[in-house]
Amino acid sequence: MSQVAAPSPVRFADRLANVETSAIRELFKLLGKPGIISFAGGFPDAALFDVEGIREATLAALAANPGAALQYGATEGFDPLREQLAAFMASKGVAELSPTDLIVTTGSQQALDLIGKTLISPGDKVIVEGPTFLATIQCFKLYGAELITVPVDGQGADVDALERLVAEHRPKLVYLIPTFGNPSGATLSLERRRRVLELAVRTNTLVVEDDPYGDLYFDQPPPPSLLALSDQVPGSRACLVHCGSLSKVLSPGLRIGWMVAPPALLAKATMCKQFSDAHTSTFAQATAAQYLAAGRMPATLQRVRGIYARRAQAMVQALRHTLGDAIDFVPPQGGLFVWARLTGAGGACHDGGVLAQRAIERGVAFVPGAPFFARDPDRATLRLSFATVDEDRIREGVQRLGSALRA
């Protein structure tokens, strides 16, 4: 007896039609192959986690107020953590930030989702950098955004182009990763930061500053965040949303992020968060609060900065030495990534996707750059993370990349 398959009762929402799972995920499936040197991830190095510090903070959280640490909590966040985060931001030059000016989010990823949920209606225009963080592209598309890209150079987003695009499109918001961008590695210059804030005020445009990497500088601190600079540009604080995260500096598994935004937006975001996860894990928040209160962060930052700086330098030198003029890049000053462009010099491969396949066969992985463009992908680009690989393996990985490039 033949059986006719019943129609599935699972009928997806229209909004999903706009979004695909990323091509990068397919590549990640290959990373389990033994012996692969991976420059593909966006993770911090697990070997650098301050396990002892977090253990002490966990015990302190349970000792201090176990009832609160294990109970439901306020959607806005656990007050002792909001206080610590306001103090952390103050230590980075953000003036007059009170704990109630921020909400705690489940990673900064949730802040991005709340921004999409509260601000983006289908068809709304949103300007993002080309290239930008892949999960932001997908998240904003899920809410129906029409994404417009502003080009990025060695000084971050091209602000002349941004001025033209804002005038032409009147976007709902502009999303930038001004410091050690993912994937671009680029940092917006001080002069451009001022111009972005002035543009925001002049055109009454909301600017989202996503800043998970600003603390991971190598030699010199980057220019102050847009949020820190906002007190120099009258009216700009009201045009700014700032997303922060402990993921890259402490632990992504804690899922602690935060969002500073104008009060009306913070209130709507809090309402939406309530429907989504009620609140970020109180236990994780209490632990993070104890960690920050114990004053451990400066030493942790200093330690990881030094290690990432040496790895970045090893990668930059190896790329120059081994790949020469077949590759072009601006050495990063912080963060986790080298963003590079294949020039095709000497007949070498100049397609990041093709190279990624060949590279995997030779035991090295990276992410091709094309998926990081919301529009007009530059297929010659690639993102290389040096974060989780020691210097010898970085040199070995770049050798393998060189052989893939010339294959």
Q: Give me the residues that bind ligand PMP (CB under 6 A), please.
A: 42, 107-109, 133, 177, 182, 210, 212, 245, 247, 252, 257
Closest CA to 405 of 329, 328, 350: 350
Nearer to ligand PMP by Cβ, of 101 and 211: the residue is 211
Nearer to ligand PMP by Cβ, of 115 and 404: the residue is 115
3-state secondary structure of 235: coil
Q: Which residues are registered as beta bridge partners of 258?
A: 104, 244
Closest CA to 210 of 251, 252, 180, 170: 180
Q: How far is the CB of 110 from ligand PMP (least distance, A)?
A: 7
Distance CA 88, CA 145 (A): 33
Helical pair 352-361 and 391-406, crossing angle rounded to 10 deg: 110
Nearer to ligand PMP by Cβ, of 157 and 326: the residue is 157
Nearer to ligand PMP by Cβ, of 107 and 116: the residue is 107
3-state secondary structure of 210: strand
Q: How far is the CB of 256 from ligand PMP (least distance, A)?
A: 8
Based on its alpha-carbon atoms, the radius of gyration of the chain, rounded to whole angstroms, reads 22
The owner of tokens 């977090």 is 54
Please report, as a single letter, which amino acid is at residue 155: Q
Please report, as a single letter, which amino acid is at residue 327: I
Nearer to ligand PMP by Cβ, of 99 and 181: the residue is 181
Nearer to ligand PMP by Cβ, of 389 and 405: the residue is 389
Nearer to ligand PMP by Cβ, of 103 and 326: the residue is 103
Rounded to the nearest 10 degrees, how much is the dihedral formed by the CA atoms of 50, 52, 56, 57?
10
Q: How far is the CB of 399 from ligand PMP (least distance, A)?
A: 27
Q: Which residues are registered as beta bridge partners of 146?
A: 125
Angle, CA 165 vertex, CA 164 and CA 167 arms, to 5°: 65
Q: How far is the CB of 321 from ligand PMP (least distance, A)?
A: 28
Q: Which residue is nearest to ligand PMP (CB)?
A: 107
Nearer to ligand PMP by Cβ, of 208 and 404: the residue is 208
Query: How is residue 124 annotated by DSSP?
Result: -
Nearer to ligand PMP by Cβ, of 210 and 215: the residue is 210
Nearer to ligand PMP by Cβ, of 230 and 245: the residue is 245
In 10 A of CB 57, how many CB atoms? 23
Q: How far is the CB of 104 from ligand PMP (least distance, A)?
A: 11
Nearer to ligand PMP by Cβ, of 108 and 322: the residue is 108
Q: How far is the CB of 403 from ligand PMP (least distance, A)?
A: 29
Q: How far is the CB of 385 from ligand PMP (least distance, A)?
A: 10
Q: How far is the CB of 376 from ligand PMP (least distance, A)?
A: 20
Q: Are 216 and 335 in contact (CB under 8 A)?
A: yes
The owner of tokens 């176990």 is 66
Q: Where are the alpha helices (DSSP H) in 158-280?
A: 159-169, 190-203, 226-229, 263-277
Distance CA 131, CA 320 (A): 23
Q: How far is the CB of 3 from ligand PMP (least distance, A)?
A: 45
In 10 A of CB 364, how many CB atoms? 27
Write out the DSSP string of 8-22.
PS----GGGGG----
Distance CA 403, CA 364 (A): 10
Distance CA 352, CA 349 (A): 8
Q: How far is the CB of 23 from ligand PMP (least distance, A)?
A: 17
Q: How far is the CB of 273 from ligand PMP (least distance, A)?
A: 14
The owner of tokens 């007896």 is 1
